[in-house]
Amino acid sequence: MKSSPTSLKKVASIDIGTNTILLLIAEVEGEKITPLFEKETVVGLGKGVQKNGILMTEAMHRGLQTLSQYLERCQAMEVGKIFAVGTSALREAANSEDFLRLVKKKMNLSIEVISPEEEAQFSFLAVAKDLREVNDTILVVDVGGGSTEFILGRGNQIGQWISLPLGSVRFTEQFLHSNPVREEEWETMEKKIRELLVKIPHSQEPFLTVAVGGTATTLASVEQGLEEFIPKKIHHFVLRKEALRNQLLVYRSKTIDGRRKVPGLPGARADVILAGGAILYLAMEELNCPSVLISSHGIRQGLIYNKLSLSKPTASRQG
């Protein structure tokens, strides 16, 4: 599946995260990409990395299985080029090279492990292209399984960005050991999140906060009580801080099995949604932000824009 960028019609991007592996197959026409197929699979590739420092054998097997299914779909849809990137879990796990070699050997797929800066650039680029009519400064918050990026910019220009070791999987494993969660576990986690959030960039002028990633889209799904994931209802949904606070109270009061019965919450995310939601909620508090715009766009879209040189964010600095 190789082709030069100038002849590309269909491309795919795969985002291999700590908790999920996501696929986007899109048609490229000029500077426009039109989604043809999207899929999210909760794989938990990075589960156990916080405790053991390595990718677990079962997690790698789940990852290989998912990637194999994605490549079959790409072949069936006659995709010309596939771009695949890995983030926090593959940056940190001591044996991530073993997984990368396995994928290359079994599927002839090369995975590029991207830096936190590239992760921030791709997330911001996806949002900037989607909201190109917005003139205000934009703050993109990308809550992931292993890290959270905060990217502040306007147009294609990133002013400040930072990647923090805050993640839904990371903090669930580090702090939330009881089922249901005990009050002291919640308080310890909350304190740690607040300590890290003082480092995030603050705008001196009005800004629009946009939340991307699986945690954000799940919270929007729950708020609407969606029976199934409906991208059109998720994308550009406005999630208010008070509504998010009420969701967190529900998750704190329930066991993981109890959370699985919450409408709009996928069962595979029930264990990590509390930590992920807490990171977003406390970020909103730190920023004095009454609501966030939820975007279903993210690294997948930004990766395609970047690789095909359709548009690139310029001069960024970590803040």
pLDDT surpassing 50 at residue 255: yes
Whole-prediction pTM = 0.90
The pLDDT mean for the chain works out to 92
Residue 1: its pLDDT value, please? Answer: 43
Residue type, 308: L
In the chain, the domains with their CATH numbers are 5-114 (3.30.420.40), 116-299 (3.30.420.150)
Q: How far apart are CA 251 and CA 248, in angstroms?
A: 5
What's the whole-number mean pLDDT along residues 121-143?
93
Residue 251: its pLDDT value, please? Answer: 98
Q: How far apart are CA 135 and CA 208, in angstroms?
A: 10
Element of type H or E holding 150 = strand 148-154
pLDDT surpassing 50 at residue 2: no
Q: How far apart are CA 168 and CA 79, in angstroms?
A: 32
CB atoms within 10 A of CB 65: 13
What's the whole-number mean pLDDT along residues 227-248?
94
Percent of the chain with pLDDT over 70: 94
- How far the first Cα of the chain sits from its last, in Å, is 39
Tokens matching residue 126 = 């996806």
CA distances (Å), origin 179, targets 169, 257, 270? 15, 9, 12
Residue 310: its pLDDT value, please? Answer: 65
Q: Which pLDDT tens digit goes with each residue over 153-176?
A: 998 899 999 999 999 999 999 999
Residue 315: its pLDDT value, please? Answer: 43
Residue 233: its pLDDT value, please? Answer: 95
Q: How far apart are CA 8 and CA 79, in angstroms?
A: 9
**One-character DSSP codes across 177-226:** -SSSPPHHHHHHHHHHHHHHHTTS---SS-EEEEEESHHHHHHHHHHHT-
Report which of 117, 63, 123, 65 is spatially closest to residue 93, judged by C-alpha positions. 63
Name the pLDDT band for 317 (thresholds 50, 70, 90).
Answer: low
Residue 230: its pLDDT value, please? Answer: 87
pLDDT surpassing 60 at residue 4: no
Given the DSSP bridges, would you call strands 207-212 and 291-294 parallel, antiparallel or unpaired? parallel
Name the pLDDT band for 309 (thresholds 50, 70, 90).
Answer: confident
pLDDT surpassing 90 at residue 3: no
Q: Which pLDDT tens digit goes with each residue over 274-299?
A: 999 999 999 999 999 999 999 999 99
